[in-house]
Amino acid sequence: MAKILKRERLVPNIHLIEVEAPEIAMKSKPGQFVIIMPDERGERIPLTIADWDREKGSVTSIFMVVGTSTHKLSYLKTGDEVPVFVGPLGKPSEIEKFGTVLCAGGCFGIAAIYPIARALKEAGNKIIILLDVKANYVLYWEDKLRAIADQFFVSARDGYFDCKDYVRKTLQSIIKKGKKIDRVVSIGCTYLMYTCSEATRPHGVNTVVSLNPIMVDGTGMCGACRVTVGDKTRFACVDGPDFDGHLVDWEELFSRRKSYFEDEIQSLCYWEKKNFP
Ligand SMILES: Cc1cc2nc3c(=O)[nH]c(=O)nc-3n(C[C@H](O)[C@H](O)[C@H](O)COP(=O)(O)OP(=O)(O)OC[C@H]3O[C@@H](n4cnc5c(N)ncnc54)[C@H](O)[C@@H]3O)c2cc1C
Ligand code: FES
């Protein structure tokens, strides 16, 4: 069992969860994830490690409420326990001196890029942060990310920040303005990562994405997280989650993520009816 030290709503639909996990905190590296099970009867879901505190022995993740498991997580309180909290899993992100790295994040990816951007900055890179939000009131961790950014952009549909455009257009315009970018790291929903990869493809800018296929065991045994990258079969949990965005078979990923759509909807309806009759 792992104890919840904090669970709070950061902005509508996005929550922070801090879990007591000293061994995971000691070993965590940027880009890795944990698998959490919200209750004894629940499923195992992967969440990116957004931060850790080795002294306190805690690990923090940020999650977006989408289906049954994330709804369950959003009702956990300080002092509650979860039956499964395992990690760190997956290969850590590549941290080297690349030059100028643009880190693009949306929804939970705004938090997921934080430890990567921080480590890249410490490695001597110039960091451009580009965040994508529907509106200004769903932006979180702005201060944390601004603190490590050499340049900071937010694309918000309500036009509150720099621009209204989706991240693809903003990224393209940053590149077209002649800004030399040596690497792009993109984390968020599949569509955001796909569009970032398409934006950089014509310019040949190396683009790393953190893939989020359905996972079950997270240790390479079940095959649920199978993705095709550069015509090779990969398991995102052990070979990734970071991959070259220009080599990912996006169509297959979009289609495999929808495999249990009907069951997911039914599960959420059943859970809501049972808990909020
Ligand atoms: C390596 C890895 C790291 C991840 N890190 C995080 C993280 O840090 N924070 C986080 O919130 N999620 C993260 N995810 C995604 C997360 O695991 C899923 O959102 C979660 O499993 C959904 O479970 P659920 O039961 O709540 O929803 P489900 O019932 O599984 O899904 C409900 C519906 O929401 C859709 N959906 C599922 N996930 C998403 C999503 N992320 N965005 C938009 N729609 C979605 C599904 O297609 C389905 O239609 C990660 C996934 C992977 C593989
Ligand atoms: S989640 Fe089972 S092989 Fe990756």
Mean confidence (pLDDT) of the chain: 94
| 71 residue type, one letter | H
CA of 275 to the centre of ligand 2 (A): 30
The pLDDT score that the predictor gives to residue 257 is 85
Q: Is 153:128 a contact under the CB 8 Å cutoff?
A: yes
Task: Assign domain 2-89 to its CATH superfamily.
Answer: Translation factors (2.40.30.10)
At 159 the pLDDT is 81
47 token code pair: 């969440």
Q: Which band of pLDDT confidence, cut at 50, 70 and 90, is reported for residue 74?
A: very high
* Ligand nearest, relative to CA of residue 68: 1
Atom nearest to 220 CA in ligand 2: 3
Strongest mean pLDDT among 89-93, 253-257, 270-274: 89-93
Summarised one tens digit per residue, pLDDT across range 224-267 is 999 999 999 999 999 999 999 999 999 999 999 888 888 899 99
Question: Got the DSSP string for 131-177?
Answer: EEESSGGG---HHHHHHH-SEEEEEETTS-SSB-S-HHHHHHHHHHT
Express as a percent the part of the chain with pLDDT over 70. 100
Q: Span 93-196: which CATH code?
A: 3.40.50.80
- pTM recorded for the entire structure: 0.95
Q: What is the pLDDT of residue 118?
A: 98
Q: Which of 47, 89, 222 to mutate to test the pocket of ligand 2 (most atoms within 8 A of CB)?
A: 222
Measured by CA distance, the residue closest to atom 3 of ligand 2 is 220
- Smallest CA separation from ligand 1 atom 39, residue: 66
Domain positions in the chain are 2-89, 93-196, 211-277
- Say yes or no: CB of residue 261 within 6 Å of ligand 1: yes
Q: What is the pLDDT of residue 276?
A: 85
Query: What is the atom index within ligand 1 of the atom nearest the CA of 63?
Result: 11
Q: pLDDT tens digits, residue range 125-184?
A: 999 999 999 999 999 999 999 999 999 999 998 887 878 888 888 888 888 887 789 999
* CA 66 to ligand 1 centroid distance, Å: 7
Residue 137, helix vs strand vs coil: helix
Give the Å distance between the CA of 150 and the centre of ligand 1: 30
On the question of pLDDT at 84 being above 90, the answer is yes
Q: Which residues of 216-234 are buried (b: 16+ CB within 10 A; e: fewer)?
A: bbbeeeeebbbbbbeeeeb
Domains 2-89 and 93-196 share a fold: no
- Tell me which residue has its CA closest to atom 28 in ligand 1: 67
CA of 111 to the centre of ligand 1 (A): 14
Going from the Cα of 203 to the center of ligand 1, the distance in angstroms, rounded, reads 30
Length of the chain: 277
237 lines ligand 1 (CB under 6 A): no
Is 60 a pocket residue for ligand 1 (Cβ < 6 Å)?
A: no
162, containing H or E segment? none
Percentage of residues in the chain having pLDDT higher than 90: 84
Q: What is the DSSP letter of 163?
A: B
Q: What is the pLDDT of residue 180?
A: 87
Q: CB within 6 Å of ligand 2 — which residues? A: 215-218, 220-225, 235, 237
Instruction: Please report where in the chains the tokens 């690497």 appear, as a residue.
Output: 183
Ligand sitting nearest the alpha carbon of 226: 2
Which pLDDT belongs to residue 97? 97
Amino acid at 94: E
